[in-house]
Structure 1
Amino acid sequence: MGAVERSENLSEVGVSEKDETLLHRIYREVNRCHYSGKINIPVRWEIPSASEAPEPPRKLSTLTPQEMKRIVMAVKAYECQDFEGAKKLIKPFTGRGVTDADQLYIRILMAANDPSWSDVARQINTVSADTLFVPAASTEVVDRVEVIYVHPALSKSAGYNAPRYVLRYVLFHEFLHKFLNTAPDDPHPALFRTMEKAVPERAKAIAWLQAHQFSTVEDHQP
């Protein structure tokens, strides 16, 4: 990552140079200690566009019966792979604080190969810190290059000042995806879950993430 690119990234997410240095130091430590330095993916502070949230439920108690009927229709259209129909039905509910509708909308865009899905997801993730919808990190492809995005809310300068064991766990988790080459439709197979338990202070890290409303592998047990 070049200096200019890193500077632009920091200005966008409000993370200090000190936190940037810390992230890269922990990246090197985890890579060296657990992966023999074989992981070669750049890392940066950025709001992840990926989501590991479960399928949205069909019943949304905060909506009127008429609105709930429309969302049920959107879910059915999504299940029938009528993505354009589903998108038209669900879009009026997005951005209104109805997390389930936001989740479904992103899934529809992804399934329809809509190139705007990552921008929409990143915008929603920015304002969804009160739900277990936001991932702490994700591995994404930017300009055909894999990069690990770590949520700025884990930094001291732009967030909750996550303990270092949390950052180590988050990076270990993302490295393991690359190490095992996990599939998008099965990101946490049995081997992944077994190996992931080897990271030091894992339970503490997961507890911290859950307490600060981030999704974790424990929220997606098979």
Structure 2
Amino acid sequence: MRTSIAFLVTFLTVFTALQVKAQKRLTEATITYSIVINTNNPSPKASDMLDGATSIIYLKGNSSRSDMVSSLGTQSIINDGKTGDVTILKDYGQQKYMISLTADNWKQYNQKYEGVTFTYENEYKTIAGYKSQKAIGKLVDGSTFTVYFTKELLPVNKDFQYLNKNLPGLAMEYEATQGGTKVTYTVSNINLNLVPAAKFDIPKTGYRVMTYEESTRGGQ
């Protein structure tokens, strides 16, 4: 009896250790998503210009930076992990804006993603070398989207991807809707090397600075 109990304790200890080892806490990484626009509209729209664009995520502790790079230009979102403040940089040729958001502003900015729930399905595929499970996300307005995520990587800070922050892992492929157009993001590369702190520096010149309220009124 004692032998059986000892074996069970040893088994559970090893099993727990393997689970912990299998899931890596993602504190520092550069994640690149490829972007595909899913549209059957024969007339090109501004959103079509995003087709073939990339979204590059930089993670360092509780801070993050997201760069959307397309033929239109670059939009960056920098999350300050210490204060919760967010800075949005829009660089579209001659139009360069810097929008400052408080933590409350950021929550308001992502209001439509609050309360997202997920249903997990027994369907998997490998993306960028990681086993990814299918899930169906449901927004409070009743709309749904498909996401594949891996439990092998668990971001410490999930605010960089508000839509998927309630997932128990990193979203490897997911759908999002922009202006009625469905956009698919798929991880093409994950680099676990150190991220330079300078990536999170806020520019001091060269941008028209606006508050969140001003950007909302101005339609930026």
Q: TM-score, normalised by structure 2?
A: 0.25
Query: Which structure is larger by alpha-carbon Rg, 1 or 2?
Result: 2
The structure carrying a bigger helix percent of its residues is 1
The structure carrying a bigger strand percent of its residues is 2
Q: TM-score, normalised by structure 1?
A: 0.25
